[in-house]
Amino acid sequence: SQQGEEDPQALSIQEGENATMNCSYKTSINNLQWYRQNSGRGLVHLILIRSNEREKHSGRLRVTLDTSKKSSSLLITASRAADTASYFCATDHLIIQGAQKLVFGQGTRLTINP
């Protein structure tokens, strides 16, 4: 079953605006990751936030984590046309000692209009 649920499912904004995507999850986590997927391609890791962190920045990306609400948000500031992609949150779950699996949400399709 899917652990993360992204909101909104689709988002269309003008270039230069900020884009905010949200993710909710169900069980306790060690960390939460965000990935980006260009159409028809593999996923690329963007950023990881640990369960004891509340906010993290990387370039134009800002991620927040609220473990009490089991939710995270990804903010992309000053969006560019090249940011058009699908964005997924993923939570890690221990499989066996030394191995984890990522459980992904359904993703948000972000379209940046020039």
Partner 1 sequence: SQTIHQWPATLVQPVGSPLSLECTVEGTSNPNLYWYRQAAGRGLQLLFYSVGIGQISSEVPQNLSASRPQDRQFILSSKKLLLSDSGFYLCAWSVPTEAFFGQGTRLTVV
CA 13 to CA 71: how far, in whole Å? 23
DSSP of 36-67: EE-TTS-EEEEEEEETT-SEEEETTEEEEEET
Sites for partner 1 among residues 6-25 (CB under 8 A): none
CA 7 to CA 22: how far, in whole Å? 5
Minimum CB separation from partner 1 for residue 5, in Å? 9
Sites for partner 1 among residues 45-74 (CB under 8 A): 45, 48
User: Is residue 36 within the footprint of partner 1 (CB under 8 A)?
Assistant: no
Binding residues vs partner 1 (CB under 8 A): 2, 4, 31, 33, 35, 40-45, 48, 88, 90, 92, 95-96, 98-107, 109
